[in-house]
Amino acid sequence: MSEQWQFYPCSMGDNQAFIFFDEGIEKIIDQQAPSKLVRIALTYQDPYPTGLPKKIEFEAVSSIEDCLTQFVGLVNDWFVGRVTVSGYRYFYIYTSRSESDWADFSALVTEQTGYEFVPSFRSDPTHEGYWQELYPTEDDRQVIKDLQVIEVLEKHGDDGSVPRKVDHWIYFTDPCAAALFKTWLETSRFKSEPDLSTMDDEGGLVCQSLSSWHD
């Protein structure tokens, strides 16, 4: 495990999910991590109807994760991330342990905490569990960057609950398309900016400016 972890929300089908993964291992995981993946499913006891956990379970689940991290650290196993979705938290570990070792550990966690903690196993020599199920897409990368900006703003005293005006600029190669878009804006919650809506740049693109208020 490295010290460089990233967190981001995303959609999985119709469900909201949250992913926390170890970005710091991306350059070495294929060369150094074991080739067997164990994915452990923790079942939340009282999630929201959306499947996301309530704060009341935070301490108990955090303690289980701490116990898992300690168990992983006893040998050369790699805890590479987790996914929270649909009433479950899935832990991803590349392991050199046997399936029976993990079954015994998981049974002990369930016995001591009351949480269902069920491992599943698969061979994963190309580490697709990390690259396909945890690693962010380009769109997810933008979300991560946006969250980092918000975090910096909050550290400098910004109050995110205060409504603010957000300006947008959209460029069209076709003036007719820009006019149709402006018509749509007038029926939406956006407000067009007429002083900027027909500005051409050096490439001949038509710029449509609009603004909205975000809470």
**What is the pTM for the complete model shown?**
0.75
99-113 helix and 58-73 helix, angle to the nearest 10 degrees: 150
Segment 83-135, tens digit of pLDDT? 999 999 999 999 999 999 999 999 999 999 999 999 999 999 999 999 999 99
Let me know if domain 5-141 sits in CATH 3.30.760.
Answer: yes
Q: What are the residue ranges spanned by the domains of the chain?
A: 5-141, 163-214
Segment 145-182, tens digit of pLDDT? 888 787 787 777 777 677 777 676 777 777 787 778 77
